[in-house]
Amino acid sequence: MKAIEIYLNDLKKFTKYTVESVGDAQNEESENNLNALKRQAKDELQQYFLLISYQGYVNQYEVRINNYFIYGIVGSVASLIILGFIVGILRIII
């Protein structure tokens, strides 16, 4: 949850900065430059959103890989213990 708050605060600051720069350009620049800045702001916001989405996907993939690793280790240790008991019992019987 903390990561989401940080991302949203960062996005809010970035959006505010971008909107303010477009507003300043509207007061000072011509219509063509204003349209170019609006397009640039839109592109940057889309890229930022895609970056956040990609980071979420990578994090989910990393968690899945970590789970596979942990399950593999736990399964291997459990198998070792069970086989150790079985071999011990077989040595006693035989």
Q: Tens digits of per-residue pLDDT, 26-78?
A: 555 566 777 777 777 778 777 877 787 788 778 888 889 999 999 999 999 99
Q: Which two tokens stand for residue 84?
A: 């150790």
* Gap between the Cα atoms of 24 and 13, Å rounded: 16
pTM above 0.75, yes or no: no
Sequence-ordered alpha helix ranges (H) in 1-94: 2-28, 31-93
Question: What residues does each domain of the chain span?
Answer: 2-93
* Residue 81 pLDDT level (bands cut at 50, 70, 90): very high
* Gap between the Cα atoms of 21 and 15, Å rounded: 10
Q: Which two tokens stand for residue 30?
A: 């011509």
